Amino acid sequence: NAGVMQNPRHLVRRRGQEARLRCSPMKGHSHVYWYRQLPEEGLKFMVYLQKENIIDESGMPKERFSAEFPKEGPSILRIQQVVRGDSAAYFCASSPPGGQYSGANVLTFGAGSRLTVL
Amino acid sequence: GDSVTQMEGPVTLSEEAFLTINCTYTATGYPSLFWYVQYPGEGLQLLLKATKADDKGSNKGFEATYRKETTSFHLEKGSVQVSDSAVYFCALSDDSGGYQKVTFGTGTKLQVIP
């Protein structure tokens, strides 16, 4: 039973290019969360998605960042026109449906995608 | 909003020493509390959790007790090993909105030397 799969593990982009990070949740999980970890800092919540719906994007920068979780396929975090300040590790986590009622109130994290902007 | 404060690192200990990493939180509701561990180059792994006041979470010799009166969830281990070297994150989860919104502390790096 594969865990949360993220790819690519490492991505290098030049300023102005686009970065696309993919996340496949654990089997049976329909809730996906994206977090960003800046160097020497903790993880900051970015966005929470269910299939075809963005539920909470309060942590997403207003410009250049977008996320989707289509009916089929992985969740995608897209960063347009990257800048050096976007260099970070981006972690995806998933959880099963049901939220607080399922009792499974634990997020399972992927290994992360490390973006370096030159 | 919710927040988590944990002690600054790095913490350097000799093997078999006693470990305490302090963590306090602020939250409007009744959060669940977690400790996650991150080994170099890897993602976060859940170490232990507690879902209500006075619960004690434990795993791999680590333990932490949910103290509502002091809003704390300090991580302890009686005898650390070199393999415990990692970054430890205290976190809380507020599921009042029907989903798990997790707030993390900034992490404490632990180095255990032989």
Q: B44 to chain A: which residues are within 8 Å by CB?
A: 43, 91, 109
Q: Is A101 helix (H, G, I), strand (E, B) or coil?
A: helix
Higher pLDDT, B93 or A21: A21
Q: Which of residues 52-81 of A touch B (CB under 8 A)?
A: 55-56
CB atoms under 10 Å from CB of A62, counted, come to 6
Task: Name the residue among A3, A51, A52, A50 with its Cα closest to residue A27.
Answer: A3
Q: pLDDT at residue A41 above 80?
A: no
Tell which wins on pLDDT, A104 or B42: B42
Q: Is pLDDT at A46 greater than 90 in this prediction?
A: yes
Query: Is residue A105 predicted with pLDDT exceeding 80?
Result: no
Q: Does B42 reach chain A within 8 Å, measured CB to CB?
A: yes
Burial class (CB in 10 A: 0-12, 13-18, 19+), B8: exposed
How far is Cα A97 from Cα B9, in angstroms, rounded to an integer?
36
Q: What is the pLDDT of residue B30?
A: 82
pLDDT digits (tens, 9 = 90+) for B74-92: 999 999 999 999 999 999 9
pLDDT tens digits, one per residue of A68-103 = 999 999 999 999 999 999 999 999 999 887 654 444
